[in-house]
Amino acid sequence: MAEKNEPVNRRKFLREGLWAGGLAGLGAVGGFVGVRSTRGDTVWQIDPNVCTSCGNCAKYCVLEESAVKCVQLYSICGYCDLCFGYLVPEPKQLDTGAENELCPTGAIERTFVEDPYYEYNIIEELCIGCAKCVKACAVFGNGSLFLQVRHDRCLNCNECSIAAACPSGAFKRVPAKTPYLLKGADGKA
């Protein structure tokens, strides 16, 4: 009862190939439609535990002013006098002099609390999401400064141009009900 091996001709090969291609295409279209249908419930966000503060968020957003802003998580901030997120690496003085400020747009405000603590607030209107302060805070501090997509600005594009340019894959879709990924006390989002 040996199986009968039918000779394969070009016509049959192409016909079967066309069938297979068609089925694969149908699957892809179905998957695409499925993903699209669920996107309505999700928004773009940055995973702060994956973000490498590369600066692409400032450059690649389709908006003139990026929808990505630095945020400050006060619960893990050290309220340091020598804050590397606020001050240039070699400051002349530990004060609010412009020459000592790290932020190129002056978007961080420093306020004295009590010796030796200072509070740092982000002025969102000035922040362009370049992540310079985020990098410095991560290297030398507690990582309390990090980037988030601000949903009062974000257009929630289907194909986010920052996500496409993100080198570390930190951009992800999250449920619209929980649109922010904040670092927890354990350092996890």
Site string for other proteins, 4-43 (x = CB under 8 A): ---xxxx--xx-----------------------------
| 154 counts as binding other proteins under rule CB under 8 A | no
Site string for other proteins, 100-119 (x = CB under 8 A): --x-x-----------xx--
What is residue 181's three-state secondary structure? coil
Q: Report the alpha-carbon distance of residue 101 to residue 85 in Å, rounded.
A: 9
Amino acid letter for position 65: E
Phi, psi of 86 (to 5 degrees): -100, -40
Helices (DSSP H) in the chain: which residue ranges? 10-39, 56-60, 132-140, 161-165
| 69 counts as binding other proteins under rule CB under 8 A | no
| 135 counts as binding other proteins under rule CB under 8 A | yes
Q: Report the alpha-carbon distance of residue 175 to residue 40 in Å, rounded.
A: 9
What is residue 89's three-state secondary structure? coil
Which residue number, 85 or 154, has a Cβ lying nearer to other proteins?
A: 85
| 156 counts as binding other proteins under rule CB under 8 A | no
Q: Please tell me what DSSP assigns to residue 171.
A: E
Q: Residue 44 Cβ, how far from other proteins at the closest point, in Å?
A: 18
| 53 counts as binding other proteins under rule CB under 8 A | yes
Which residue number, 52 or 156, has a Cβ lying nearer to other proteins?
A: 52
| 63 counts as binding other proteins under rule CB under 8 A | no
| 94 counts as binding other proteins under rule CB under 8 A | yes
Query: Which conformational region is residue 32 in: left (phi greater than 0), alpha (psi within -120 to 50 degrees), or beta?
Result: alpha
Whole-angstrom Cα Rg for the chain: 25
The contact set with other proteins (CB under 8 A) reads: 7-10, 13-14, 48-56, 58-60, 78-84, 89-90, 94, 102, 104, 116-117, 130, 132, 135-136, 138-143, 167-169, 187
